[in-house]
Chain A
């Protein structure tokens, strides 16, 4: 059961980090696309937006992972 528990937690973490990255990239792309429509600068806004969004996603994943690390330490200490 404990092994199953570990697997489930691993899946949860993977899902959590996965959504962070995907959502941030999508938001960046959408913002870029919106700016393109507004200023008529196709396709540069989209390209820059995806890169910025990907960077933001990596940042979010890094923060979420640091948080997980913190929880892990708490578990080990208690």
Chain B
């Protein structure tokens, strides 16, 4: 029987080595390209057909999604400030959602189950919030480390706590997405392994569970993409508003 973690392995498809760098095209990269192609392709399809006042099926789906994300951004960042972040947040949401959903197709690769990928997203967002904060508030940004209404005597205690809590944010963001996807897919693989190896009179049970959990995984793909983008909005909003 195959190991249940087998489908997380990365295989090189086209090996490319430049200098000491391994830039090979592997199955993870291909899965990412497919995600990009789906997101960009669906929007290009709508735009190339001409955006009509009476939307077609695809156009209305995309409009609903974009409106939903815009409301999310406006709620957490504010209407004036939020406008410039809508494209970034929308891209983030759609790309993570596409990658999560692609992972559910049997035989494909779940790119978000790699902590490298989610960590890169989270680090990028963390650095982005720092840049936004410093460019917006200058050195006044440091007062994010002191929550409002804290008595002066508590400040030496609160500053390290706030620093740790700030540093923990990107890591918990990355770990949450990665752990959810990995756990779900491992459960699927274990159950399917049971269904394949057990005799027929019991194998219907794990097989049924596989189907149920697959449905659950679709929901989790949406929820995790939503949580990731919501928290990104919250972090950017915190930095923009400074309390």
Contacts and interface: CB of A to CB of B under 8 A. Distances in A.
B161 A55 contact: yes
Given A52-B164, A67-B234, A24 B172 contact: yes
Given A52-B161, A59-B161, A23 B168 contact: yes
Nearest to B183: A15
A16 interface: yes
15 contacts: A12-B220, A15-B176, A15-B179, A16-B176, A16-B227, A19-B172, A19-B179, A23-B171, A23-B175, A24-B165, A52-B160, A52-B161, A53-B168, A55-B161, A59-B165
B64 interface: no
A67 B180 CA distance: 20
B223 interface: yes
B164 A8 contact: no
B70 interface: no
Interface residues of A, number: 19
B162 interface: yes
Contacts of A53: 164, 168
B30 interface: no
B216 interface: yes
A28 B164 CA distance: 6
Contacts of A15: 176, 179-180
B169 interface: yes
Interface in B109-131: none
A33 B167 CA distance: 15
B16 interface: no
Nearest to B219: A8
Given A24-B164, A53-B168, 9 more contacts: A8-B216, A15-B179, A16-B227, A20-B168, A24-B165, A52-B160, A52-B161, A56-B165, A59-B165
Interface string A47-72: 00000110111011000000100000
Contacts of B220: 12
Nearest to B165: A56
Contact of A12 (B167, B168, B223, B234): B223
